[in-house]
Amino acid sequence: MKKYLWILAAAFLLQACSKDEEEGPYVPWRPGDDKEETIDLDKATKVMILTEQAKNRIVMIDQPTGKVAWEWTAADSGLSAAEQAWFDLPDEAKPVYNRTCVLVTASGGGVALIRIADKKAMFYAKPGGNPHSAEVLPDGNVVVASSTGNLLSVYVYNGADSYVSRPAFTMPVHSAHNVVWDRKRGCLWTATGAQLLKLAYNGKRTAPELTQVRSYDMAAGNTDAHDLAPVCGEDAMYVSTNQHVYKFDCAAEKFLDVEIFQQNTIKSISTGPEGYSTIVMRPTSGGSNWWSAEVTDLSGNRLFNRMGYQIYKARWYVENPFSYPAVHTL
């Protein structure tokens, strides 16, 4: 028994020694850490948005305390039982409109723009085909990436009708997993397979169209691009594939290597302003599962964990000047 305790103590010390590799509070794994306490969102200091699939919800966590600052399920927005099923297995949640709303997609087929204050669905639709990400365009329209549907779909947002039955435009993109608006260049980015695509948007709200402008090839051996996310404070984006993580320098138009504890199967990467660690999600559940109960930094240090959680992606609840203006209202 003493030998076992010494092994546990040594393992803990090794983990603690590695925490200096990345800024931010380090949270060692605590068996049975399954208690959810709450905190008001306006009192939380560093908030992560998690797509938590065990209960089909979006959860905001105050990272320093581990407390729940806000959560949402489709039932909170008064959707019908059939519509609620569209939001099974949520897989993306982005803060938009100066963090007053969250843009959500789910493998169940749905996309929704949720107002945080009252959890109202300002817009929702069912693109189907395993939606994996969405983005707000400058005119308020919403573009959705559907992975098994191999499609980008653009929906017209008019502010009057929250439910939109069909897209105004679709564009085939193989295994579409991500979309990011680039405000500086006025273009939309999406990564597919081993390529990063640059798309032009015509800006016609009621007759939207996307067209491919250029493609950028990643190194040989890459397949199945997954996450695409702006790097806070830089003119760059993180790109993950099944095999690697890159930083794409938008000005130099180059893929740069990234120092990260694990290169393969990274589901999401998110950055924040000074004092925020870069947070990483990768599956740790084994088998064919794709979720984890923990959020780490680039060095693999745990920044949050909770028994029973099935987290797919994690994003910081921060402003995104790469995509949106300083004043970004709905």
Per-residue pLDDT of the chain (330 residues; tens, 9 = 90+): 433 333 333 333 333 333 333 444 555 555 446 789 999 999 999 999 999 999 999 999 999 999 999 999 999 999 999 999 999 999 999 999 999 999 999 999 999 999 999 999 999 999 999 999 999 999 999 999 999 999 999 999 998 889 999 999 999 999 999 999 999 999 999 999 999 999 999 999 999 999 999 999 999 999 999 999 999 999 999 999 999 999 999 999 999 999 999 999 999 999 999 999 999 999 998 777 899 999 999 999 999 999 999 999 999 999 999 999 999 999
Beta-carbon contacts of residue 286 (< 8 Å; ≥ 6 apart)? none
3-state secondary structure of 82: helix
Provide the whole-model pTM.
0.90
Domain boundaries, the chain: 2-316
* DSSP letter for each residue of 90-112: EEEEEEETTTTEEEEEETTS-EE
Backbone torsion region of residue 233, taken as left when φ is above 0, otherwise alpha when ψ lies between -120 and 50, otherwise beta: left
Enter the tokens of residue 261: 């504890």
CATH architecture label of 2-316: 7 Propeller (2.130)
Contact criterion met (CB below 8 Å) for 96 and 328: yes
